[in-house]
């Protein structure tokens, strides 16, 4: 194996909040047991191959600013292997347990479908060898069905059935590879599954195609005995102006429509939530309420910009709320916290990628610890329990259980001369309670 751009860095260690070193974890103490298991098992952090190994700093106004050895000209497979060597060294440095990839991130694009698939399997073999040596596991695999011009009008929703077939063949092989590498999940983000203008779009037709595609994916999952979760990643816009998987609620309606709500869960991304006009915790709480929380893509947007800037997270309040609702939803199970985040284009040093992940992991860990403590102490939950206490007693229980008709409820309301009085929502009291916990020195 060749020397890589990450080889010279020591593995980042936990040293606690009093350490004054930059490349150490202050809060991510992987083995610390909280709520019955180690932090690493709750958070299941993952590094995104596309942002940390592939992204080269290009933006709509300028070319690459990040130049790595595997981005030079040369034999595509040799370069892909060089990239994989660097990837696993980065994972070793960060000491985070998982990674995620798109087919195109790790395998070179070929001249035709068959060559694409050949490259994918060649590189999957190489990744498997790496995984024998390093301890990093695969959180999820996915297919890039949005970059190549053939996908400009969508993948499964394309008006051309040949693009559907190309996408189906690609996803089948990506699922095979995800299974081969022991992945815990397979993700479908609807890259260009949406439309630019309704003027040229048959929405009913496209939704039928997307439903068929997802049904085929679920069928294949069972056929090959893949025991990971199938996840849809909602996003409201970008690249198309109307993406079909707008948010959790929209995805749930789609899953219901095709009878897949018991088979498919959601992978929720912070920046996608805010693009949809929601908060990250809103999306997590919605998925929790509907029983479809699968995994998280951790990042943040820029409140002043209207697109998916995919920055590393830095807001403790927002992340604590996200973690609180994640725990309340029953945790992540087979999912994890994938850093779907990239360094800024001026941050071209390999070291910048390490700083970014250290900060992200520490922020999430601190947020998780605070959320767990809030739950443990119970003061916050007590306010909510008290707020809904009326539903636990008397006829309210029968109402929820569906035992009383509308007429019966009316009859009882009149008989009991009910006269409900407004009660305080206690918002400021709750905000103070949370602020004290979030900004407390003791965690």
Catalytic residues: 102, 105
- In the complex with ligand XLS, the residue whose CB is nearer, 65 or 147, is 147
Q: Give yes or no for a contact between 170 and 145, defined as CB atoms under 8 angstroms apart.
A: yes
Give the interface size with ligand XLS as a residue count (CB under 6 A). Answer: 10
How many whole angstroms from its chain centre is CA 325?
15
SS3 content of the chain, % helix, strand, coil (to 5): 50, 10, 40
One of 89, 245, 283, 297 touching Ni ion (CB under 5 A): 297
Q: Which residue is nearest to ligand XLS (CB)?
A: 189
Region 324-343 residues binding Ni ion, contact defined as CB under 5 A: 340
**105: partner contacted, choices ligand XLS, Ni ion, none (Cβ within 5-8 A by kind):** none
CB of 189 to Ni ion, least distance (A): 6
Strand 229-233 versus strand 264-269 pairing type: parallel
Q: How far is CA 198 from CA 164, 202, 240, 254, 386, in A?
A: 20, 7, 12, 19, 48
CB of 187 to ligand XLS, least distance (A): 6
Q: Is 297 in the site for ligand XLS (CB under 6 A)?
A: yes
Rounded Cα distance, 413 and 410, in Å: 5
**142: partner contacted, choices Ni ion, ligand XLS, none (Cβ within 5-8 A by kind):** ligand XLS
- In the complex with ligand XLS, the residue whose CB is nearer, 92 or 342, is 342
Q: Is 103 in the site for Ni ion (CB under 5 A)?
A: no
Q: Which residues contact 202 (CB under 8 A, 6 or more apart)?
A: 159
**29: partner contacted, choices ligand XLS, Ni ion, none (Cβ within 5-8 A by kind):** none
Using DSSP, state whether 107 is helix, strand or coil.
coil
One of 105, 193, 247, 269 touching ligand XLS (CB under 6 A): 269
x/- mask, ligand XLS, residues 112-151, rule CB under 6 A, reads ------------------------------x---------
Q: Give yes or no for a contact between 283 and 234, defined as CB atoms under 8 angstroms apart.
A: yes
Rounded Cα distance, 47 and 96, in Å: 8
x/- mask, Ni ion, residues 256-285, rule CB under 5 A, reads -------------x----------------
- In the complex with ligand XLS, the residue whose CB is nearer, 140 or 324, is 140
Q: Give the count of alpha carbons within 13 A of 9, CB side only.
A: 25
Region 329-348 residues binding ligand XLS, contact defined as CB under 6 A: 340
Q: Give yes or no for a contact between 311 and 301, defined as CB atoms under 8 angstroms apart.
A: yes
Rounded Cα distance, 66 and 57, in Å: 5
CB of 234 to ligand XLS, least distance (A): 10
CB of 160 to ligand XLS, least distance (A): 22
Using alpha carbons only, what angle is made at residue 228 by residues 193 and 144, rounded to the nearest 5 degrees?
30
CB of 272 to Ni ion, least distance (A): 6
- In the complex with ligand XLS, the residue whose CB is nearer, 85 or 105, is 105
Q: Give yes or no for a contact between 155 and 192, defined as CB atoms under 8 angstroms apart.
A: yes
Rounded Cα distance, 147 and 141, in Å: 16
CB of 188 to Ni ion, least distance (A): 11
One of 103, 193, 245, 308 touching ligand XLS (CB under 6 A): 308
CB of 322 to ligand XLS, least distance (A): 16
Q: Is 193 in the site for Ni ion (CB under 5 A)?
A: no
CB of 143 to Ni ion, least distance (A): 13
Using alpha carbons only, what angle is made at residue 90 by residues 171 and 30, rounded to the nearest 5 degrees?
95
Rounded Cα distance, 230 and 218, in Å: 7
Q: Is 281 in the site for ligand XLS (CB under 6 A)?
A: no
Q: Is 103 in the site for ligand XLS (CB under 6 A)?
A: no
Region 189-228 residues binding ligand XLS, contact defined as CB under 6 A: 189
Q: Which residues contact 283 (CB under 8 A, 6 or more apart)?
A: 234, 247, 248, 266, 268, 272, 273, 276
Strand 45-48 versus strand 293-298 pairing type: unpaired
Q: Give yes or no for a contact between 331 and 322, defined as CB atoms under 8 angstroms apart.
A: no
Piece of 28-36, 275-283, 304-312, 428-436 that binds Ni ion (CB under 5 A): 304-312
Give me the residues that bind ligand XLS (CB under 6 A), please: 102, 142, 187, 189, 233, 235, 269, 297, 308, 340
Residues that bind Ni ion (CB under 5 A): 269, 297, 308, 340
């Amino acid at each position: 194996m060749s020397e890589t751009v990450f080889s010279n860095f020591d593995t980042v260690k936990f040293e606690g909040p009093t350490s004054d070193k930059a490349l150490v974890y202050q809060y991510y103490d992987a083995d610390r047991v909280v709520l019955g298991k180690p932090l690493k098992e709750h958070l299941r952090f993952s590094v995104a191959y596309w942002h940390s190994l592939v992204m080269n700093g290009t933006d709509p106004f300028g070319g690459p600013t990040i130049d790595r050895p595997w981005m030079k000209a040369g034999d595509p497979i040799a370069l892909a292997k060089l990239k994989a060597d660097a990837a696993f060294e980065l994972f070793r440095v960060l000491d985070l347990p998982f990674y995620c990839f798109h087919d195109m991130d790790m395998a070179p694009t070929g001249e035709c479908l068959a060559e694409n698939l050949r490259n994918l399997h060649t590189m999957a073999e190489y990744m498997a060898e790496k995984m024998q040596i390093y301890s990093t596991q695969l959180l999820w695999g996915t297919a890039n069905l949005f970059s190549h011009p053939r996908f400009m009008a969508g993948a499964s929703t394309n008006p051309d059935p040949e693009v559907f077939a190309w996408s189906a063949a690609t996803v089948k092989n990506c699922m095979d590879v995800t299974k081969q590498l022991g992945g815990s999940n397979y993700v479908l983000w609807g890259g260009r599954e949406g439309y630019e203008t309704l003027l040229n779009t048959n929405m009913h037709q496209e939704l039928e195609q997307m439903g068929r595609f997802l049904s085929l994916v679920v069928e294949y999952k069972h056929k090959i005995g893949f025991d990971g979760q199938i996840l849809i990643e909602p996003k409201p816009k970008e690249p198309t102006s109307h993406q079909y998987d707008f948010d959790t609620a929209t995805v749930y309606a789609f899953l219901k429509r095709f009878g897949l709500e018991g088979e498919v869960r959601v992978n929720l991304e912070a920046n996608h939530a805010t693009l949809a006009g929601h908060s990250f915790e809103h999306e997590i709480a919605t998925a929790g309420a509907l029983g479809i929380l699968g995994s998280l893509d951790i990042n943040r947007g820029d409140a002043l910009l209207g697109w998916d800037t995919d920055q590393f997270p830095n807001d403790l309040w927002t992340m604590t709320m996200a973690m609180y609702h994640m725990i309340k939803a029953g945790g992540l199970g087979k999912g994890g916290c994938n850093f779907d985040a990239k360094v800024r284009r001026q941050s071209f040093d390999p070291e910048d990628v390490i700083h970014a992940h250290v900060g992200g992991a520490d922020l999430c860990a601190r947020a998780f610890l605070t959320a767990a403590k809030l739950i443990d102490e119970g003061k916050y939950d007590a306010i909510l329990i008290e707020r809904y206490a009326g539903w636990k007693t008397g006829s309210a229980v029968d109402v929820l259980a569906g035992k009383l008709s509308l007429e019966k409820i009316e009859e009882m309301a009149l008989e009991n001369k009910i006269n409900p009085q407004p009660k305080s929502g206690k918002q400021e009291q709750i905000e103070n309670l949370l602020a004290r916990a979030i900004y407390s020195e003791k965690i």
